[in-house]
Amino acid sequence: MAELSGIEVVVFDVLGTLVDEPGGLRAALREAVPAADDASADELLILWQRHREREEQRIGQGDRAYANTGVIDAEAAQQVADRAGITDPAAIARLATAGQRLPPWDDSVAGLARLAQRLPVLGLSNAGHTALLRLNAHAGLRWHQALSAEAVPAYKPSPQVYQLAVDTAGCPPERVLMVAAHAWDLRAAQKSGMRTAYVHRPSGDPPKPSDAFDRHFNGLEELATALTRR
């Protein structure tokens, strides 16, 4: 694998890479439906995730006008409420904001802080502006800047989202490193000319043998060491 030389800016995916999205959503579902067993909670989580994925794809394909994650999550929460028999408006409203209360992975906060001492660090997320603000505050994530795909407006893996990061970085894309736990995210970043680093997470999308990312890491400590030893 290639050495990470010449990197001027590091860009992080957020959902799944720095915060445990499935774990956080599952916890919110168990709070909303205390009587649900593990199998029922997993079924509701799948319902939520499939709605989010389907609607983001529809927007990407031009079959739906852009709607931010606050809107899509509210739709998902209502579907979950209908399935689980939740009728309390306050409970449904709290569930709709579950994506703002996702826990960070154990190494996320320290890893970001270590990298930020040496390099500019950006977040690049499909989360809408408001959701990203509140998520960062809840998880304790500290950036030099956090970018929402809502600014474009589009969803990854649309090219304009990665171009937003490159334009903000203010340097050639080959000097910008995209870090993610999702191979699909890194493939799209590669098409935009960015360098790529895969970080393993339990709920990520691992690379295929055909993928040629610059580096693979087991966590942010390994990544920070590779980037700060220069």
Burial group, residue 119, by CB count within 10 angstroms (0-12, 13-18, 19+): middle
| Location of each CATH 1.10.150 domain in the chain | 21-100
DSSP letter assigned to residue 99: G
Instruction: Name the architecture of domain 9-20+102-228.
Output: 3-Layer(aba) Sandwich (3.40)
Q: What is the mean pLDDT of the chain?
A: 96
CATH T-level fold of 21-100: DNA polymerase; domain 1 (1.10.150)
Kindly state the average pLDDT of the residues 142-150: 96
pLDDT band at 4 (very low <50, low <70, confident <90, very high): confident
User: What is the structure's pLDDT at 228?
Assistant: 83
User: What is the structure's pLDDT at 161?
Assistant: 98
Tens of pLDDT along 106-115? 999 999 999 9
User: What is the structure's pLDDT at 229?
Assistant: 75
Q: Cα angle vertex 131, ends 72, 153, to 5°? A: 65
pLDDT band at 209 (very low <50, low <70, confident <90, very high): very high
Which distant-in-sequence residues (6+ apart) come within 8 Å of 194 by Cβ? 11, 162, 165, 166, 173, 174, 176, 177, 178
Alpha helices in 68-219 (DSSP H): 69-84, 89-96, 108-116, 129-139, 159-169, 183-191
pLDDT at 85 over 70: yes
Tens of pLDDT along 147-195? 999 999 999 999 999 999 999 999 999 999 999 999 999 999 999 999 9
User: What is the structure's pLDDT at 230?
Assistant: 57
Q: Cα angle vertex 86, ends 88, 63, to 5°? A: 105
| Location of each CATH 3.40.50.1000 domain in the chain | 9-20+102-228
- 1-15, 54-68, 87-101, 128-142: least confidently modelled range: 1-15
CA distances to 50, 66, 121, 149, 154 from 56, in Å:
10, 9, 26, 12, 9
Kindly state the average pLDDT of the residues 124-134: 97
pLDDT at 2 over 90: no
Tens of pLDDT along 31-44? 999 988 999 999 99
